[in-house]
């Protein structure tokens, strides 16, 4: 880009920004003066209106020489624009307005003008480098979430918190479920708080606690397989170990490494996709236990999780320990099976650990990261139901 074209783009960016100021201040005035909305909430809503206004004009005018290429590309850009410009604008505006108005008693309109000017240059740089580029998704996520060498890998405190949490779940499982009800949904004596979703899969989050330097994900899913028996289900599951790549879309490759009765060791190449695609070589220790003629459990612990670089190419290789992106550090699954009148009820409790997200981006990024864990379990259960019914 030449200096003149860069200056022209900067001028257009500021022209769009001026329009955004009009939108922001107009919405703010209506919310504060007419609707009597609290000034901080009004500021956040006004900024969001300005963000949407600015994105549309940047797409059509400021960076019109960099077309998105498709509706999906545009949606991806909009998400990235929110992650960067939106986060900067909303967090920056709210923080500055809270300081100026809440502490120094500056009028809200003056405080908003100050915040707008402060964030403008940073927003331009972020948009030019990370949003309106074809390679932006990887750049954005590398910028937001990739660990630095000094902090790569889970810290001792993170691992200790994971071990304590997982031990509490394992205690129920290892004790033949004698310490708690058989199914998770029966533990508090209430109905599930989740919803029925595609393929007859019921999902619920158990709201794990915060851990230092990481994020726990604890989901439970349930399916019902009609006209099946427990013996049939277990036989198909154990016979299919090592062949998961034939049926599960998240499993690119699989093989059975070892079998000792009801104990299996399985290799799976897993792919997880949500904005960014990450591929792993994993190994799982799986143990089936029969608790009588109508009940059984299975415990699957990932003994190896190695993120791949250049996945799917001739350069594919495992990243060194501690040099991964931290999207998946630990993964355990606890399965419960019960034969009832008409079929078999199957429940899976999935517990995983990933790295934490910078505090500024948590309101936006955490729901996306949580959805990766949820959708992975949902797809697994939905596929399993189809296999067992077929």
For 247-276, the pLDDT digits (tens) are 898 899 999 999 999 999 999 999 887 556
Q: Which residues contact 49 (CB under 8 A, 6 or more apart)?
A: 23, 24, 27
Rounded to the nearest angstrom, the gap between the alpha carbon of residue 368 and the centroid of all alpha carbons in its chain is: 4
What local confidence, expressed as pLDDT, does residue 329 receive? 92
CA–centroid distance for 234 within its chain: 31
Cα–Cα distance measured from residue 154 to residue 214, given in angstroms and rounded to the nearest whole number: 7
Q: What percent of the chain has pLDDT over 70?
A: 81
For residues 161 and 41, the model is more confident at 161
59-82 pLDDT, tens digit each = 888 878 777 666 777 887 788 777
Q: What percent of the chain has a predicted confidence (pLDDT) above 90? A: 29
Collapsed DSSP state (helix, strand, coil) of residue 23:
helix
Rounded Cα–Cα distance for residues 81 and 130 (Å): 9
pLDDT of residue 136: 40
Distance CA 311, CA 265 (A): 23
Instruction: With a cut of 80, say whether residue 360 has pLDDT above it.
Output: no
pTM: 0.62
pLDDT at 71 (0 to 100): 73
- Interatomic CA distance for residues 39 and 343, integer angstroms: 56
**Sequence-separated contacts (24+) of 364-373 with Cβ below 8 Å:** 364/82, 364/83, 364/86, 364/87, 365/83, 365/144, 365/145, 366/215, 368/274, 368/275, 369/215, 369/217, 369/274, 369/327, 370/205, 370/217, 371/274, 372/272, 372/273, 372/274, 372/327, 373/217, 373/219
Domains defined for the chain, CATH in brackets:
3-145 (no CATH), 156-389 (3.30.530.20)
pLDDT band (50, 70, 90) for residue 194: very low
């Amino acid at each position: 880009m030449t200096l003149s074209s860069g200056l022209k783009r900067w001028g257009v960016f500021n022209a769009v920004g001026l329009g955004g100021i009009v939108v922001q201040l107009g919405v703010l005035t209506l919310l504060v003066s007419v609707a009597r909305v609290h000034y901080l909430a009004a500021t956040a809503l006004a900024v969001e209106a300005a963000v949407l206004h600015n994105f549309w004009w940047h797409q059509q005018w400021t960076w019109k020489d960099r077309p998105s290429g498709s509706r999906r590309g545009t949606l991806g850009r909009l998400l990235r624009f929110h992650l960067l410009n939106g986060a900067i604008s909303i967090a920056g505006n709210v923080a500055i307005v809270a300081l100026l108005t809440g502490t120094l008693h500056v009028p809200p309109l003056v405080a908003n003008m100050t915040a707008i000017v402060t964030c403008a240059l940073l927003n331009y740089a972020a948009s030019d480098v990370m949003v309106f580029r074809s390679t932006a998704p990887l750049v954005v996520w590398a910028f937001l979430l990739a660990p630095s060498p000094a902090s790569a890998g889970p810290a001792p405190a993170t691992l200790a918190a994971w071990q304590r949490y997982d031990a509490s779940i394992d205690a129920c499982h290892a004790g033949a479920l004698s310490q708690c009800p058989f199914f998770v949904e029966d533990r508090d004596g209430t109905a599930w708080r989740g919803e029925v979703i595609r393929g007859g899969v019921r999902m619920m989050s158990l709201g794990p606690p915060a851990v230092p330097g990481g994020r726990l994900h604890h989901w439970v899913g349930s399916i019902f397989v009609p006209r099946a028996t427990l013996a049939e289900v277990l036989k198909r599951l154990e016979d299919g170990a090592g062949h998961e790549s034939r049926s599960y879309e998240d499993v690119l490759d699989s093989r059975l490494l070892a079998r000792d009765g009801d104990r299996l060791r399985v290799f799976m190449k897993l792919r997880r996709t949500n904005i960014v695609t990450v591929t792993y070589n994993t190994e799982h220790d799986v143990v089936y236990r029969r608790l009588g003629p109508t009940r059984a459990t299975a415990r699957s612990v990932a003994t190896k999780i190695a993120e791949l670089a250049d996945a799917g190419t001739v350069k594919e290789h495992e990243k060194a320990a501690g040099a991964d992106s931290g999207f998946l550090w630990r993964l355990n699954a606890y399965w419960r099976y019960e034969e009832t009148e008409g079929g078999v009820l199957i429940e899976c409790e999935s517990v995983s650990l990933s790295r934490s997200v910078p505090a500024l981006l948590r309101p936006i990024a955490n729901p996306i990261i949580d959805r990766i864990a949820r959708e992975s379990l949902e797809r697994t259960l939905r596929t399993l139901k189809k296999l067992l019914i077929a």
